Structure formats: structure tokens, C-alpha cells
């Protein structure tokens, strides 16, 4: 697959390196592309049914307000989030003490293990890594947009050889130098957010 002229293959990966004295702890994170494995281990709970009159007929309908169903749904969503973090960090080859990937009730133990073995700021960075690799936050989009506009301005500057008066640019005034053009592109990007 290509987007523009950029080849897209594989999933997004990121690396976090934490210093530990003379050594470095390397955390590798790979985005999740399928929840099939999770769904086999933890199928989504189904709401119980209840009888309800619809168009003068009694029919069975899901009871999404059932408190037991709601509790099961919260438990399922928590397990899904925990599984996602663990699978995302799997390329790091972490040997967990209390987490067993075939036992969903142990997945949440990764939080205690991180808190026990790392400073709060380190544990937060590790968890953020797992979240970031599976999603795109506004900061990343803004950085990518600014980088793109900077590259575009540099390419335009390299291709153009102005003679005489310089043309007007996005701000409506004449461009005095490439830096002005870059600043104008950044302003345009900021207005779009």
C-alpha cells in the first residue's frame, strides 16, 4: 500500500530506552493490528434479554441496563486494555513475575510489577509508549504537519530562483526570505487545528 509516494507496510513501532546505571533498558512497542487472540480468550459479554412490548407484541430484547451485565462489560474492557498493553510490549521480551498471557485475570498485574520495579515517571513512560504506538495524539499530528510544511517550504525554496519582485504568500505580504515562508506555513497549520 502507498499513501502519496510513501510505502506503508507493517505496523507502527516505537522504542523507549531507560538508563539503569551502566546498562540501558530497551522497551520495544508494536501496534496491535488484530484483537482476534484477545476475543478468543475473552469474548465480549452479551446482555441478558428481557421481555418488552413492542408494537403490541411481547418480544425479547437485550437488557443493556442490567447491573451484572454492566459489571461484566467493565471487567471485559479492563482486560482488553491490559491485554493491549502487554501485547504491545511483547517485542521487549519482558519476563513478568505474575502475568500469564493465558490467564486473563493476571493481566492487570503488569501495573503492580511496573510500580514495584520502576520510578513513577518511568512506569508512566512505559505505559504511555504502549498507548502512543496504538494511537495518534494531537501532538504527533501537529509535529508531522509542521515537519511536512517545513519540507514543502524547503523544496519550494530550492526549486525557485526568484528574479525581481517576490510573489505574495499566504500572509498576503511579500516574502522576504524562506524563513518567512516557513513561518507562514506553520501559521496555516496552526489555524487548521
Q: Residue 23: which domain range?
A: 11-133
Based on the fold, state whether residues 127 and 183 are members of the same structural domain. Answer: no
Based on the fold, state whether residues 49 and 105 are members of the same structural domain. Answer: yes
With a pLDDT cut of 90, the percent of the chain lying above it is 46
Residue 5 counted as domain residue: no
What are the tens digits of pLDDT across the range 89-102?
999 999 999 999 99
Q: The whole model's pTM is what?
A: 0.65
Residue 4 counted as domain residue: no
Compare 16 and 173 and report the one with higher pLDDT.
Answer: 16
Based on the fold, state whether residues 128 and 145 are members of the same structural domain. Answer: no
CA dihedral sign, ordered 125, 38, 30, 25: positive
Based on the fold, state whether residues 168 and 73 are members of the same structural domain. Answer: no
Based on the fold, state whether residues 146 and 80 are members of the same structural domain. Answer: no
Last residue of a domain, one of 112, 133, 154: 133
Closest C-alpha to 86, from 65, 64, 67, 109: 109
Q: Pseudo-torsion of CA 96, 102, 104, 105, nearest 10°?
A: -70
Last residue of a domain, one of 133, 150, 177: 133
Based on the fold, state whether residues 184 and 170 are members of the same structural domain. Answer: yes
Number of domains the chain is built from: 2
**Would you say residue 75 has pLDDT above 70?**
yes
For residue 156, give the 3-state DSSP assignment: helix
**Would you say residue 53 has pLDDT above 80?**
yes
Closest C-alpha to 183, from 170, 172, 168: 170
Based on the fold, state whether residues 125 and 142 are members of the same structural domain. Answer: no
What are the tens digits of pLDDT across the range 84-132?
999 999 999 999 999 999 999 999 999 999 999 999 999 999 999 998 8
The mean predicted confidence, pLDDT, of the chain is 81
What are the tens digits of pLDDT across the range 174-187?
544 555 555 565 56
Residue 34 counted as domain residue: yes
Last residue of a domain, one of 118, 133, 148: 133
Mean pLDDT, residues 52-66: 87
Cell of 26: 530497551
Based on the fold, state whether residues 147 and 128 are members of the same structural domain. Answer: no
Cα separation, 66 vs 74, whole angstroms:
13
Amino acid at each position: 500500500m502507498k499513501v502519496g509516494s510513501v510505502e506503508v507496510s507493517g505496523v507502527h513501532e516505537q522504542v523507549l530506552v531507560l538508563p539503569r546505571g551502566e546498562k540501558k533498558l530497551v522497551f520495544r512497542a508494536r501496534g496491535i493490528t488484530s484483537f482476534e487472540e484477545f476475543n478468543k480468550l475473552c469474548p465480549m459479554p452479551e446482555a441478558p434479554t428481557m421481555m418488552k412490548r413492542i408494537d403490541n407484541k411481547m418480544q425479547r430484547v437485550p437488557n443493556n441496563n442490567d447491573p451484572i451485565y454492566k459489571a461484566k462489560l467493565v471487567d471485559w474492557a479492563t482486560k482488553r486494555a491490559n491485554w493491549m498493553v502487554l501485547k504491545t510490549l511483547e517485542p521487549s521480551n519482558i519476563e513478568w513475575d505474575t502475568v500469564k498471557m493465558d490467564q486473563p485475570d493476571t493481566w492487570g498485574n503488569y501495573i503492580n510489577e511496573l510500580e514495584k520495579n520502576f520510578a513513577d515517571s518511568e512506569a508512566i513512560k512505559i505505559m504511555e509508549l504502549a498507548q502512543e504506538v496504538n494511537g495518534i495524539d494531537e501532538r504527533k499530528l501537529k509535529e508531522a504537519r509542521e515537519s511536512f510544511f517545513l519540507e514543502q517550504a524547503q523544496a519550494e525554496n530550492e526549486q525557485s530562483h526568484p528574479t525581481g519582485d517576490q510573489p505574495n504568500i499566504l500572509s498576503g505580504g511579500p516574502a522576504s526570505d524562506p524563513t518567512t515562508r516557513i513561518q507562514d506555513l506553520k501559521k496555516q497549520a496552526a489555524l487548521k487545528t
